[in-house]
Structure 1
Amino acid sequence: MSERSAAPGGLALVESLVNTLDIAAGTDALDTREGRAGLGITKDGVAEARELRESLRAALLAHAGHPPHRAVTPLGTLLARAPLYVAVDDHDGSARLAPATAGPLLSRVAAAVAEALVAGTWTRLKACESDTCHWAYYDRSPARRGRWCSMQVCGARAKMRRYRAKSP
């Protein structure tokens, strides 16, 4: 689990969804009413939310240079189903992709990904390298080479494992 600050803009929604599953603890916030309410989904939407979550996790692992931990529906396939439209601001003429309806999680995630693509921040959202974590985090490092959600936890564990493997 990360002690980092939340991802900017709509990526906070993506980060929040991916982090509903705590692999190390074996808990899933989507199993709780509070966890679902935080994402604006009902119990009927849990299966779709889980499929989206794992597809997002696979993309975030790819951003960090790692293969997915299991086979998932490609994220592009899921996002292609999201009804979006081009919203134009009447005051300044700016435009953005927006969900066709406010409710569906898939549309909100698709709009967040589109926003991040335009802002150049999409590939900064990554999943932790640790196989027992895979927590989503926003890589704020200048070189964009962050590997762990937390240097103090996952990073330290990985470095200690490497050190012990080298010791006689």
Structure 2
Amino acid sequence: MTATAAGSPGPSPTTVPPTVETVLAFVNTRADGSGRRELFGDGDSFAAWLAERDEFAGETVVTDADAAVARELRDALVTVLLAHSGDEEGLGESLQRAERHLRRVGSLYPLATVVTAGGAELASPQTGVPGVFGTVLAAVTTLAQSGDWGRVKACRNPPCHFGFLDRTRNGGGLYCSTGCGSQVSMRRHRRRQRRGGGAPSEA
């Protein structure tokens, strides 16, 4: 999470920086209607997920209450990522609630600046589960400072809402895959057909 020097180019939209990987790994733990299962359902499942992620320092003692806090943080971040995609679920009151929650989380898990000869980075001074949440917040902050936060989005195809890095040149990507884009287009096409089929026919 090293800070980029002023005037230097940020990460290319065709690459996936470690900070993006950290955020996407955290937000893409939700169950959906296409077979993905909930990975933060309880303390055991949250601990199993953490044990597979090197950036979170491996195995950590986790409670069901910790898993609930993780779900709340994750869902607030997903709402913000939906806002990046312009989705209605990520706008208005839902976005305001998510941002208020993230401010509270930021005060509970403060970050520290680590300065070395090679640069400076944000890191969590805490250990255990608080360190996990701090690491996620540090990744988000670094992305925001580099100008890449807006390219981290959630798919607009409900109920997918899978987090992804928008690699398009103009930053206009809305879906995590062409499959999700096709599903949305097909649903719109069917709605238009139903509206057209319900109209009275002329003799």
Q: TM-score range by the shorter chain?
A: 0.7 to 0.9
- Offset, 1:26: 6.1
List alignment gaps of at least 5 residues for structure 2.
1-13, 197-203
Aligned partner of 1:109 in structure 2 is 136
8 Å CA contact 1:36, 1:42 repeated in 2: no
Q: What amino acid does structure 1 have at the position aligned with 2:62?
A: K
More strand by share: 1
TM-score by length of 2: 0.70
Range moving further from structure 2, 132-141 or 64-73: 64-73
User: What are the Cα deviations for residues 7-53 of structure 1, in whole angstroms up to 9, with x where unaligned?
Assistant: 42212111111111131136202243532423545431211111111
Aligned partner of 2:39 in structure 1 is 29
Aligned equivalent of 1:133, options 151, 157, 160: 160
Aligned partner of 1:158 in structure 2 is 184
Larger Rg: 1 or 2? Answer: 2
Q: What amino acid does structure 2 have at the position aligned with 1:20?
A: T
- Offset, 1:76: 2.5
Does residue 86 in structure 1 map to residue 113 in structure 2? yes
- Offset, 1:75: 2.0
More helix by share: 2
**Superposed, which structure 2 residues align to 1:22-101 within 5 Å?**
22-24=31-33, 25=35, 27-31=37-41, 32=45, 33-39=47-53, 40=56, 41-44=60-63, 45-68=66-89, 72=98, 74-89=101-116, 91-92=117-118, 94-101=119-126
8 Å CA contact 1:85, 1:99 repeated in 2: yes
**Residue 10 of structure 1 aligns to a residue in which SS?**
helix
| Cα distance in 2, alignment partners of residues 164 and 134 from structure 1 | 21
Range moving further from structure 2, 38-47 or 8-17: 38-47
Aligned partner of 2:173 in structure 1 is 146
List alignment gaps of at least 5 residues for structure 1.
none
Moved over 6 A (4+): none
Figure out how many residues of one structure are paired with residues of the other and give that number: 161
| Cα distance in 2, alignment partners of residues 67 and 82 from structure 1 | 29
RMSD, aligned α-carbons: 2.3
8 Å CA contact 2:112, 2:124 repeated in 1: yes
| Cα distance in 1, alignment partners of residues 68 and 132 from structure 2 | 12
Q: What amino acid does structure 1 have at the position aligned with 2:181?
A: G
| Cα distance in 1, alignment partners of residues 40 and 78 from structure 2 | 15
Inter-CA distance 10–43: structure 2 relative to 1 (3 Å threshold): same
What percentage of residue pairs aligned between the two structures are identical? 30
| Cα distance in 2, alignment partners of residues 121 and 47 from structure 1 | 28
**Residue 121 of structure 2 aligns to a residue in which SS?**
strand
TM-score by length of 1: 0.83
